[in-house]
């Protein structure tokens, strides 16, 4: 029997000319469910074709998809005009937090769901912040949000910061042993700041011990992910306590984290590894198009995970863990690695949108 082709959902990428926007455009090329039909950016790019607006700013290693080259870029602020032809949008604009908050709400109020890569709404109490494998049930808060916004279909959903992706899913996989204290240092790639070595030559051979706002996100966002719905808001969890330092390192793609953990119930190393490699979530059960088959891999060699060898595990949607061993001060320590612009940014949002479509929150207008 011939399979009936489902019509793809039409998508706008807000901030489509930026680093994360380019990643969205690349990941959505030939996507089975979604099709980029609209791209919006600043007034500087509006009115030009996507290829003209990008000029020499293309930062992906794969070529610009043919299907988007001639799309005429719109102005993000021209909300009605951008929203009218699409079923939902991805947001990766770089504006002030207040401007992003306001503009994403304006899109939602046109009955256009927004799946955002930005941090502006991560602490809005009725906006779900989702890692699809970890807290898919937080999507249920969307009903409370729609009530507040006065919408039928429009809402905002966000993904968490790139820095937490190398350890938050791991702590979740180990939740039955109740992690109580976590000390983490992250070694973050320059693409996390929207840069390559060409436009940030000072990073060659350099380390910068400060990333604005990152430590607070690394410590607090996991608690909101591990939280639960209480009435009209997400109530963050109160443990584990997390302390962090976030360092910029001369790496193009891939955030590494070195992590120390204390547990209430101390597990064996074998128990911990088993929980990681057997970890499956809704994306795997629902077989979502971008879902990694194996979400978390454990590498036995002492010199893994390495950025150069492991960052593209499962097309950048998987997480690599290694060097799990007992510690002298904490119960255990390990090293984690994730792709900051795939799992940590655009890819995490695409997987989130697939989850929201599968659960009926995103559909044809």
**Is residue 129 involved in binding ligand NAP (CB under 6 A)?**
no
**Is residue 178 involved in binding ligand NAP (CB under 6 A)?**
no
**Shortest Cβ distance from residue 118 to ligand NAP (Å)?**
5
How many residues form the binding site for ligand NAP (CB under 6 A)?
Answer: 26
List the structure tokens of 183: 């000390």
Distance CA 99, CA 42 (A): 13
Percent of residues in the chain assigned helix, strand, coil, to nearest 5: 35, 20, 45
Residue 81 phi, psi (nearest 5): -65, -35
- Contact flags string 155-174 toward ligand NAP, x per CB under 6 A: -------x------------
Task: Measure the N-to-C terminal CA separation of the chain; round to a whole number of Å.
Answer: 29
**Shortest Cβ distance from residue 79 to ligand NAP (Å)?**
11
**Shortest Cβ distance from residue 94 to ligand NAP (Å)?**
4
Which of 16-24, 26-34, 64-72, 356-364 is the region at the interface with ligand NAP (rule: CB under 6 A)?
16-24
Query: Segment 41-60, which members bind ligand NAP (CB under 6 A)?
Result: 41-42, 44-45
- What Rg do the C-alpha atoms of the chain give, in angstroms? 20
Active site residue 162: yes
**Is residue 338 involved in binding ligand NAP (CB under 6 A)?**
no
181-199: buried (b, 16+ CB within 10 Å) or exposed (e) per residue?
bbbbebbbbbbbbbbeeee
**Is residue 95 involved in binding ligand NAP (CB under 6 A)?**
yes
List the structure tokens of 28: 């959505």
Distance CA 321, CA 257 (A): 10
**Shortest Cβ distance from residue 51 to ligand NAP (Å)?**
13
Cβ closer to ligand NAP: 255 or 323?
255
**Shortest Cβ distance from residue 21 to ligand NAP (Å)?**
5
Q: Cβ(159)–Cβ(251) under 8 Å?
A: no
* Bridge-based pairing state of the strands 233-235 and 241-248: unpaired
Nearest to 71 by CA among 56, 86, 41, 50: 50
Instruction: Name every residue whose Cβ is closer than 8 Å to that of residue 352 and which is 6 or more positions away in sequence.
Output: 115, 130, 132, 157, 159
Residue of 121, 138, 255, 339 marked active site:
255
Query: Segment 270-329, which members bind ligand NAP (CB under 6 A)?
Result: none
**Is residue 197 involved in binding ligand NAP (CB under 6 A)?**
no
Active site residue 255: yes
Return the active site residues.
162, 255
Binding site for ligand NAP (CB under 6 A): 15-21, 41-42, 44-45, 76, 92-95, 117-118, 162, 191-192, 194, 340-341, 344-345
């Amino acid at each position: 029997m011939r399979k009936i082709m489902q019509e793809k959902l039409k998508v706008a990428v807000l901030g489509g000319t930026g680093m994360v926007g380019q990643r969205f455009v690349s990941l959505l090329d030939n996507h089975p469910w979604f099709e980029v039909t609209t791209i919006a950016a600043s007034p500087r790019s509006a009115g030009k074709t996507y290829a003209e607006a990008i000029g020499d700013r293309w930062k992906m290693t794969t070529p610009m998809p043919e299907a988007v080259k001639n799309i005429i870029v719109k102005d993000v602020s021209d909300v009605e005009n951008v929203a009218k032809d699409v079923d939902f949008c991805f947001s990766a604009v770089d504006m002030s937090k207040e401007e992003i908050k306001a503009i994403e709400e304006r899109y939602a109020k046109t009955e256009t769901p927004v799946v955002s890569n930005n941090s502006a709404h991560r602490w809005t109490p009725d906006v779900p912040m989702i890692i699809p494998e970890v807290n898919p049930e937080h999507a249920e808060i969307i009903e409370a949000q729609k009530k507040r916004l006065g919408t039928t279909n429009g809402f905002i959903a966000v993904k968490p910061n790139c820095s937490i992706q190398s350890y938050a899913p791991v702590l979740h996989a180990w939740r039955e042993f109740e992690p109580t204290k976590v000390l983490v240092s992250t070694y973050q790639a320059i693409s996390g700041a929207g840069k390559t070595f060409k436009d940030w030559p000072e990073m060659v051979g350099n380390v910068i011990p400060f990333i604005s706002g990152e430590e607070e996100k690394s410590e607090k966002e996991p608690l909101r992910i591990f939280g639960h719905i209480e009435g009209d808001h997400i109530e963050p969890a109160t443990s584990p306590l997390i302390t962090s330092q976030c360092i910029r390192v001369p790496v193009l793609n891939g955030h590494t984290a070195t992590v120390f953990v204390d547990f209430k119930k101390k597990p064996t190393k074998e128990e911990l590894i088993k929980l990681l490699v057997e970890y499956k979530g809704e994306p795997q059960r629902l077989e979502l198009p971008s879902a990694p088959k194996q979400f978390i891999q454990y590498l036995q060699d002492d010199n893994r995970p390495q950025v150069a060898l492991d960052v593209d595990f499962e097309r950048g949607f998987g997480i690599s863990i290694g060097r799990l061993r007992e510690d002298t001060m904490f119960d255990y320590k390990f090293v984690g690695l994730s792709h900051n612009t795939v799992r940590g940014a655009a890819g995490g949002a695409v997987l989130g949108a697939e989850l929201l479509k599968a659960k009926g929150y995103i559909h044809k207008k």
